[in-house]
Structure 1
Amino acid sequence: MNYFSRLPLFVSLILTQIIQFPDLLLGQGLEIVHIEGVCAVPNLPKGFERFNYNEMTLEGRERGLRKIGEIKTFFTRKNVLEESGFVSLEAELVAVSDLVEIWVDITEWNIRVDQDDADQLVIAFELETPSGSIDPSKGILALEIEYFGLPPDVDGNGKVILLILDINDNYDEETNPSFVSGYFDQADQVSDTHPQTSGNVADILYLDSNPGNKRRDEVLSTASHELQHLINYNYDRNEDSWLNEGLSEYASKLAGYQGRGFGKFLSQTNRGLTVWDNLLQDYARTGLWMTYTSLRLGLDAIKQLVQDDAHGVGSAENVIKSFSPGTSFPEFVYEWTIANLLNDSAYGYKGIELPSIIPQNQYFQLPINGVPGSVHSYASSYHEFSGGTELEIFMDFFGRQDVKATIFTFSAATTVAPVVLDANGAANIELPGFGNEFSRAILMISYMDDALDSVSYFYSASGIGGYEVVELSNDDGETDFFIKSFDTPSVSVASLFNSINTPSSILSVKVFMGSNDPISIQIRDNGINSNFIFEKRNITPAINGWTEINLESSEIVVSAPTAVSITVADSIIIGYDEDSNGIGNAFIKTNNSFIALSNLTFNNGQSIDGTWMIRLLLRQDIEIDTTSNSETAIRGDDWIEFEYSDGVVTIPYTVATEGEVSLYLYDILGRTVQSWREEGQKSPGRQHQVFWNGKNAFGHTASSGIYFIRLMTQDDSAVKKLRFIK
């Protein structure tokens, strides 16, 4: 087998299915869309060197002088998704400019690809990019040369070849709707005289014609992504995948194409920045980091990242030192994880709206028993507290000092407070204003090192009260596909939630979108076509993931069936669950009023009786009765405070009825630390007491933290909290 058939490729895979139904009743245009996409990781095998243009013969250099209509043989992959070697194809040169040559497989020319397609590619690569581009007056190639660097120019003709073909990727419109929209092949960067290569000795980007010819923007976005890989290869062919892919993700957005969104990462943040497993979360994470880096350090920093001869973290360290002296890579990444949460003037993306982070854990009631976990290298996890009062958190990193804990509180102003760990890697975090001055706090746990893949932590929280969260949904949790509107200037869809019978406060709305085009949400509590009682605009959703829009501060109370509508100025791409019954709860707006989605059919007669991926989260307060008429109680203040240096602590108690008494001291995990069995009959109306010396049942000094004392009689019981400080 040809050794180069095992060369990994930069492959952009788009899992997409387009089924167009333009003739819905009432003229509503919708199509079904599946959205995914990954890119393979290229590494040239050791022992193979990039071909040197200066070593080419004069005859080889003259191959760069081409004429329109010329036919040339190219070698392409038998299957870009498998180790399958090469096949040859004949392609015709159909367009030439100063920077690019457009070649088209002769079996595709004037069938799926015509002269207009070729001319549009020349315009996109050399002359102009979309309005969202950093410079719409320049093409993709011109922009990337300016902001990243030069392609390798392995054949010395000063041009990049765009070869349009039906990429061999197992695509079938009915049975396998995923397709590879384009790729860059390292095999083209080695000498054609080498006995083990079938590369083409040229700077080539391969672009798909089937079904890519129908998806021009997606193919151009892919082309800008793959072009960065080609340029990066010129400067560092062994660049770490996380950095290389992050730069390519940024390249698409630099050129004004939507590319992938960031929601896949912001909903799963506990994943190391430098880890690369070719998952969608990896693209979202590295693309977001590169966006942050460009905004904080500038575009010259991005260019230096491409051209720096170190790899991965080494390159990032060099660039950060150059553009932000005194800031280390771990500090930079830590501040990035703060920016992902706050995105404000001090920590943020300078005007770019992000989907909100979805915390790893959310707590609405106190207390919280022990929570063990781990945080990965160069990552942060977020833990939100938003219910109850008297919040105090005990944090333990088991002796480690290289882990960071940070507390954020949210009121009129947001506070950011690093947590100081004691010598044992632990801390008690007191938030006395919680539940009064502010009602939301987030604990961020960060490990900004790569000595270990992850480090362990443990925390618990004490406090009183909170509320229950009720999540209302009409779907089964699985997005079967997206539905996209077209040929409409604006579109609204809505879900109706019928199970609201008592007054409830709206906490948030969740939506599952397929585009990050800004959306607006409306709340309607008096019928699907009633006026909305609340609206929030200009929300940037995650792509292909849940976006949660927090509405708690808006104080919206509903007490009857409530509708949530989503509006987009142009077209909407929203998740759809075809397996759930949407009759009576899924609606779409036509002719200025909402009608049931189930009243519509596609032009093939298929009914649309599923439901939208929209959810509503409600708050229901918990009433806490802190009074007790029982005489069975542990006396004293709300807390028993005990510092080990005091020697012992007295635990006073009374009982309601005469009898034997037992007391137990538990840690936050519910493990028994110490116990007392009071022999003899204890009389009511008198105060009794036991003593604790700070040691457990084995005679070892207990750890600092929060404990619970439980008093038990034959008929009654009582509990009190104890704070122990060594």
Structure 2
Amino acid sequence: MKKLNCLSLVLSLALTFSLSACDEEKKKDDNVNNVTAEICDNTLDDDGDGDADCADTDCSAAANCILNNVNNANNVNNTQPCTAPPREFWNYDLTVMPPRNVQIPSTCYGEGDHVYVYVADDAWADGTVDASMVANLVTAWETATAGNPTAGIFEAVTSVMGLPPDVDSDPHVVVFISKLGSYNGTAFDGYFRRENQVPGTNSNLTEMVYIDCEHHAPDSDYLLGVLAHEFQHMISYGMDDAEEGWLDEVFSQAAMVLSGYWSDLAAGNSYLASRTGTSPLLVADSRDFSYGAGFLFASWVLDQYEGVFFGDLVADTDVGITSFNDALALYGEAGFDIYDLILDWAAASLLNDPSVGAESRYAYLTLGDAVTPPNPTVGTMGTPVAVSMPLSTYKYYEYDVLANQEIVISFDNPDDVRMLAIFRGAGNVQMLPVAIIDGAAHLTTPEWDGSWTFIVIRAVGTGTVGFTVDTPAPPA
């Protein structure tokens, strides 16, 4: 379930139609006595130009005509915006905890090849949701998004992650828009409900995603990103309902990126600013998952391995770290596991420079300069570092050095950590995996003055990580 965070991203996606200006002007020129405006829902040719209601281009912006033509521009005589009947859907009442099951009457106001858009009757009656919002949502689902002009959410996600389950033998996914409410100051954006995939007293027995309309417009870029995220939860459930929560959330953050929505970018930059050492990517309880970390990680992995990597991950019958390491091995990363991958990702967050490393390894190719690099902690030679770090968290420490200076790093718990060293000086950048032997590592600074940045990650255990960066002691 996606919780509302403090993003002020409410950009409406405008739905437009391409009309032939010359043909429209010819109609007006031919119809010199046209003084009556076309009424778009009375079956009459009011302006005398030979076209009635939605067949008249004067009606292209009318709500009933927008809905008719969302996914079939030639179907101008379809007077029903959706062929699906009204329904009462089981829903979570999230204003109480634990949530209770309630039924909400709703009507379908939009339809595409792969979607029915239902709106709770109360949200439609009070104007919280209107026809243009529904039309924009259907367009984003079926045709194109603001960030992906070549594919809608359905195609962008399924072409990589696979198709959703189908318990009702209907290719349409139900998007149900309603007021999800809040609890103790926490508002909810949307969710995928597993109960709908199996028969039961409170099951709708259909593929279904719930989207809020109380705190953001349902066609805002933010909530369309949430829609892509929750849709991927549905796909993941169909592929492997035992997948670990953190990896399921990473899949869903990747779905947002594939659909062109950066809804959690601000959360990602906040994570880099202060929480890389306290908010682990690999969490046992998905309720503790850092959406900011997951968004940046998913975007970077998509840049490095392209979509098929995630497709293989989703389909893998193993779970969690084992599944991720299976995929890395499949793509030729022998002897390289998820903790090594996190170190490379951390380096990309710091450098974000496509000229460093092979095939732009240390850059965000999709997000680019929108990622704000972290500020490493400045270290002092000879001063021990001791910091509590949960599993899979990492921190940056930076030390100024002189050209050709010898460096020795001693570790208190060498079996629990891994380290990547980055030298920067005189316009040069060099990467060096740190080999820890007998509890220590030795480095030689290149021929320029500059700095070493050490990225340390906890790969085993819990508790305090301790190390000291120093110059070698002079011989006795």
TM range (shorter): 0.7 to 0.9
Query: Which residue, out of 330, 352, 358, partners 2:375?
Result: 358
Q: 2:297 is aligned with what amino acid?
A: W
Kept after mapping to 2: 8 A contact 1:390/1:462: no
Match of 1:247 in 2: 251
CA distance in 2, matches of 1:207, 1:126: 17
Kept after mapping to 2: 8 A contact 1:167/1:208: yes
Q: 2:158 is aligned with what amino acid?
A: I
Structure 1 residues 305-334: Cα deviation after superposition (integer angstroms, max 9, x where no partner): 122221111221221122225253243333
Residue 316 to residue 103, structure 1, CA distance change in 2 (3 Å):
same
Q: Does 1:113 align with 2:129?
A: yes
Structure 1 residues 236-294: Cα deviation after superposition (integer angstroms, max 9, x where no partner): 11211111111111211211112112223323322543125557872222222222222
Match of 2:153 in 1: 140
Residue 394 to residue 296, structure 1, CA distance change in 2 (3 Å):
same
Q: Which runs of structure 2 are paired with 1:65-214 in the superposition (5 Å)?
A: 68=83, 70-79=85-94, 82-110=97-125, 111-130=127-146, 132-133=147-148, 136-170=149-183, 176=185, 179-192=187-200, 197-213=201-217
| Deviation of the 1:342 alpha carbon | 2.8
* Structure holding more helix per residue: 2
Query: Which residue, out of 243, 261, 264, partners 2:270?
Result: 264
CA distance in 1, matches of 2:136, 2:224: 10
Structure 1 residues 452-492: Cα deviation after superposition (integer angstroms, max 9, x where no partner): 235632215369xxxxxxxxxxxxxxxxxxxxxxxxxxxxx
Residue 417 to residue 166, structure 1, CA distance change in 2 (3 Å):
closer
Q: 1:264 is aligned with what amino acid?
A: S
Give the 3-state SS of the residue equivalent to 1:162 in structure 2: strand
Kept after mapping to 2: 8 A contact 1:301/1:319: yes
Q: 1:126 is aligned with what amino acid?
A: E
Give the structure-1-normalised TM-score.
Answer: 0.49
Q: 2:455 is aligned with what amino acid?
A: M
Give the structure-2-normalised TM-score.
Answer: 0.73
* Structure holding more strand per residue: 1
| Deviation of the 1:219 alpha carbon | 1.5
In percent, how many aligned pairs have the same letter?
A: 23
| Deviation of the 1:126 alpha carbon | 0.8
Match of 2:23 in 1: none
Q: 1:265 is aligned with what amino acid?
A: Y
| Deviation of the 1:375 alpha carbon | 4.7
CA distance in 1, matches of 2:82, 2:415: 66
Kept after mapping to 1: 8 A contact 2:82/2:116: no
Q: CA RMSD in A?
A: 3.1
Structure 1 residues 365-393: Cα deviation after superposition (integer angstroms, max 9, x where no partner): x5553322355433432111248899665
Match of 1:531 in 2: none
| Deviation of the 1:396 alpha carbon | 2.1
Residue 237 to residue 371, structure 1, CA distance change in 2 (3 Å):
same
Match of 1:453 in 2: 462
Kept after mapping to 1: 8 A contact 2:422/2:453: yes
Q: Does 1:11 align with 2:22?
A: no
Kept after mapping to 2: 8 A contact 1:11/1:80: no
Where structure 2 has 5 or more consecutive residues not aligned to the other structure, the ranges are 11-80
Higher radius of gyration, 1 or 2: 1
Q: 1:339 is aligned with what amino acid?
A: A
CA distance in 1, matches of 2:293, 2:84: 44
Kept after mapping to 2: 8 A contact 1:394/1:427: yes
Query: Which residue, out of 343, 347, 350, partners 1:334?
Result: 343
CA distance in 1, matches of 2:321, 2:233: 18
Give the 3-state SS of the residue equivalent to 2:323 in structure 1: helix
| Deviation of the 1:153 alpha carbon | 1.7
Q: 2:398 is aligned with what amino acid?
A: E
Q: 1:417 is aligned with what amino acid?
A: L
Query: Which residue, out of 366, 383, 395, partners 1:369?
Result: 383
CA distance in 2, matches of 1:400, 1:369: 17
Structure 1 residues 576-596: Cα deviation after superposition (integer angstroms, max 9, x where no partner): xxxxxxxxxxxxxxxxxxxxx
Match of 1:222 in 2: 226
Q: Which runs of structure 2 are paired with 1:206-605 in the superposition (5 Å)?
A: 206-213=210-217, 216-261=220-265, 262-267=268-273, 268-270=275-277, 271-275=279-283, 282-329=290-337, 330-344=339-353, 345=355, 346=357, 347-349=361-363, 351=365, 352-353=368-369, 354-359=371-376, 361-363=377-379, 367-386=381-400, 393-398=407-412, 400-401=414-415, 403-411=417-425, 412-423=427-438, 425-427=439-441, 429=443, 431=445, 437-447=448-458, 449-450=459-460, 452-453=461-462, 456-461=465-470
CA distance in 2, matches of 1:327, 1:387: 31
CA distance in 2, matches of 1:155, 1:16: 36
Give the 3-state SS of the residue equivalent to 1:441 in structure 2: strand
Match of 2:57 in 1: none
Give the 3-state SS of the residue equivalent to 1:96 in structure 2: strand
Q: 1:356 is aligned with what amino acid?
A: P
Structure 1 residues 66-103: Cα deviation after superposition (integer angstroms, max 9, x where no partner): 96483211111122662131111111122222211111
Aligned residues: 391
